[in-house]
Amino acid sequence: MKGAKLFIFAVDGADSILMSDLLSRNKLPNFKKLAQNGIYGRLIPTIPEVSPLVWTSFATGKNPGRHRIMDMLIKKPKSYSKKIGLYDRKVNEDGTTVYTKRRAAKTLWEILSEKGKKCAILHLPGTFPPDEINGVMVSGMGIPDLRETFGLTTLYTTKKTELRAVEIKMLSSSGPDRWIESEIEGPLGAKIPVFFCPSGEGVAISLKKNDSEAIRLSVGDWSEWMMANFKIPSGHIIGGVFQFKLLEAGDNLTILRTPVQPSPYDPVTPYTFPRELSAEIAENLGHYKILDRTEDDIDNDTFLEDVWDRFESKMRITRYFLEKLDWSLFLTYVHTVDNVHHVMWRYFDPEHPKYDSSLAKKYGSVIEEAYQKADKQLGEFLDILDKNITIVVLSDHGGSGIYKGVHLNTWLHREGYLKTLPAGEVEIFKGVHRVPRAKGSMPIDWKNTRAFSYGFTGIYLNIKGREPFGLIAPGREYFKIRKEIADKLVELEDPENGQRVYKKVIFREQMWSGPFVNELPDFVPLLKKGYALAREDLYGQVLVNAPIVDDFKGRWTAHHAGPYDPEDMAGIFFIKGPRVRKGETIQRIRMIDIAPTLLHLMDIQVPSDMDGNVCYEIFA
């Protein structure tokens, strides 16, 4: 048979240990069927195990040193400033942002497009801005909202709240049946008014004052999608869409609003290819949440509604294109398993420090449900897809409970490698998650600092000629200090149990290769499972007085990017098709091996510059 037709179901975060356990307990009949009729194995991610990065290694068969998608947050060259690592940006004359591709390697779908094969690539992280392919692409996680973040949720409320990751707008409580005015912030500081009128157990919401046709919500209701136009300082109009949910009415009023995402009609930031496709989806299937991030500071029930809603809307779009298109490669993606790992792990793992046995009764089975939802969806695909189509199901990494956080910058400070100033501005990065300046966070004294850390990946050294105030000479001094820090860091102990926190520390050239290795951190400390980098440190804050090993703050209770040893964070890989062996397992396949293997399966020559190899083991 010539050139297999390929369907890929990407299940973000599906963990190899949990998958094997659920399979052995017969909880996932369709995954079991797939394994019996094909190959099942552990998938080894690239470092750091962050979705858009690992999916880019999947798409290109290359490591981050060659594809250049290296972290959510990266260091600007010749600077200490941070930038989002998923794309580059330019500013238009009217002040709006144009997003350009940062990825420096060809993807599976670009290679297939060149061969005249039709592709449909839906919702995969790391695919914004969309690629111009022979077929259709809908971008996934990483699409910015109109405020250029990954999605800033807003709470309008009459009561004081401590939430950190959402924007809070205080409402004056003026009593029932009176309109309260607030605002919705859009691009470049442009604002529009929004009006709320509490009445009994509900609220009326409108973008106009005293609107008799306002949307009425009872507690727990989500509104329809609303559209609004924002006039930016240049005079241009930018369209956005959003939804409300009424969380609380009566004595207190609390309303959630989703981030303002670009309107699908002539979007300011196109997120589909062709560009008009976003309007076609909206016309035929309605609006959906395009931002696809794991929400932070919202209550469990709202979080779950958001997660299941995003699953369903993605599958509606998948069915639409499966029916409509002719294709050689079709890829669809769900974020659900990873979303619930992050937030619901504490109810599922009795050993977790934040385990709560009464809430576990309600939420303890949610993680299993997410796997079952993926299984049910897989069953639908197995039913409708022709028997000659090769089916691949894979994830980008697994997941594991966070028991404690590690303040890496605090450690560097205490060991004398990082110096702080007594006072001054702390640079707060707003682009990914919202992390306010933490108590005790001090500005870095760059002129006297030798090592610092931000992003998931690792530690940068302050090098002469590379950084503005570089202190360390390249060559012998560089290697000496790198080894010194690495040797000390692996000995760092958790004072509570005397165990070492880091599994090992590796140098960048031991793990990455290619033309962009010089842009990556100088070394990468790999944490043991159970620990994760504290979020303040992830964004480069230095909490000078914090304990180095601390409680992990925030709502996330599991993670996949410590970073960890990739062998400890294995994902899943299934493949079934006419040319694939049946009923066998493989010990491991690396993410970088997937693209070469699939190209080989499609009878297309594997480009010689891919890092991965064809996995011949899977072929019949």
Cα(318)–Cα(349) distance, integer angstroms: 33
Pick from 15, 306, 338, 349: which binds Zn ion (CB under 5 A)? 338
Listed ranges 126-134, 243-251, 297-305, 338-346: which one lies at the site for Zn ion (CB under 5 A):
338-346
For Zn ion, the closer of residues 330 and 539 by Cβ is 539
Q: Specify whether the CB–CB gap between 408 and 525 falls below 8 A.
A: yes
Q: State the number of binding residues for Zn ion (CB under 5 A).
A: 1
Give whichever of 111 and 435 is closer to Zn ion, judged by the CB atom: 435
Terminal-residue alpha carbon distance, the chain: 13
Exposure class string for 578-613: b at 16+ Cβ within 10 A, else e: eebeeeeebeebbbbbbbbbbbbbbebebeeebbbe
Long-range pairs, 495-498, Cβ under 8 A, ≥24: 495/547, 495/549, 496/549
Q: Which stretch binds Zn ion (CB under 5 A): 138-146, 162-170, 278-286, 334-342?
A: 334-342
Identify residue 122 by its one-letter amino acid code: L
Write down the least CB distance from residue 136 to Zn ion, Å. Answer: 25
We find the least distance from the C-beta atom of residue 343 to Zn ion, in angstroms, to be 10
Nearest to 294 by CA among 591, 8, 9, 13: 13
| Interacting positions 380-399 with Zn ion (CB under 5 A) | none
CB of 313 to Zn ion, least distance (A): 19
Looking at 69-77, 333-341, 348-356, 504-512, which segment touches Zn ion (CB under 5 A)?
333-341
- DSSP string covering 40-89, please? EEEEEPPSS--HHHHHHHHHHS--HHHH----SEEEPTTSS-EEESSEEE
Piece of the chain touching Zn ion by CB under 5 A; list 19-27, 35-43, 335-343, 507-515: 335-343
CA gap 445, 425 in Å, rounded: 11
- CA gap 441, 405 in Å, rounded: 16
Cβ 13 to Zn ion shortest distance, Å: 6
- Report the C-alpha gap between 191 and 187 in whole angstroms: 8
247-to-4, 217, 604 alpha-carbon distances in Å: 50, 10, 53
Residue showing the smallest CB distance to Zn ion in the complex: 338
Shortest Cβ distance from residue 338 to Zn ion (Å)? 4
The distance of closest approach from Cβ of residue 34 to Zn ion in the complex, given in angstroms and rounded to an integer, is 23
Instruction: Round to whole Å and give the CA distance between 444 and 425.
Output: 9
Q: Whose Cβ is closer to Zn ion: residue 14's or residue 112's?
A: 14
The nearest distance, CB 591 to Zn ion, in angstroms, is 15
Only one of the segments 139-147, 331-339, 361-369, 371-379 lies at the binding site for Zn ion (rule: CB under 5 A); that segment is: 331-339
For 136, the 3-state DSSP assignment is strand
Taking the complex as a whole, the smallest distance from the CB of residue 14 to Zn ion amounts, in Å, to 11
Residue 46 CA: distances (Å) to CA of 71, 388, 561, 575, 610: 12, 31, 10, 20, 14
Query: Judged by CB, which is closer to Zn ion: 15, or 537?
Result: 15
Counting Cβ atoms within 10 Å, is residue 341 exposed (0-12), middle (13-18) or buried (19+)? Answer: buried
Q: Which is nearer to Zn ion, 293 or 482 (CB)?
A: 293
Least gap, CB of 494 to Zn ion (angstroms): 24
Residues 453-492 that bind Zn ion (CB under 5 A): none
Q: How far is the CB of 95 from Zn ion (least distance, A)?
A: 32
Q: Report cis status (omega within 30 of 0) of the bond before 198.
A: no
At closest approach, how far in Å is the CB of 548 from Zn ion?
25
**Residues in contact with Zn ion, shown as a per-residue x/- string from 283 to 322 under the rule CB under 5 A:** ----------------------------------------
User: Long-range contacts made by residues 98-104, C-beta under 8 angstroms, separation at least 24?
Assistant: 99/128, 99/129, 99/144, 99/269, 100/129, 101/129, 101/131, 102/68, 102/69, 103/56, 103/60, 103/67, 103/68, 103/69, 104/66, 104/67, 104/68, 104/515, 104/516
Helix/strand/coil for 355: coil
Map the footprint of Zn ion across residues 39-78, applying CB under 5 A: none
Q: Which stretch binds Zn ion (CB under 5 A): 172-180, 336-344, 514-522, 572-580?
A: 336-344
Q: Please report the sign of the dihedral spanned by the C-alpha atoms of residue 245, residue 335, residue 106, residue 281.
A: negative
Least distance to Zn ion, CB of residue 462, Å: 30
Give the residue with the Cβ less far from Zn ion, 54 or 614.
Answer: 54
Nearest distance in Å: CB 264, Zn ion:
26
181, HSE (Cβ side, Cα atoms, 13 Å): 6
**Whose Cβ is closer to Zn ion: residue 295's or residue 338's?**
338
Give residues in contact with Zn ion (CB under 5 A). 338
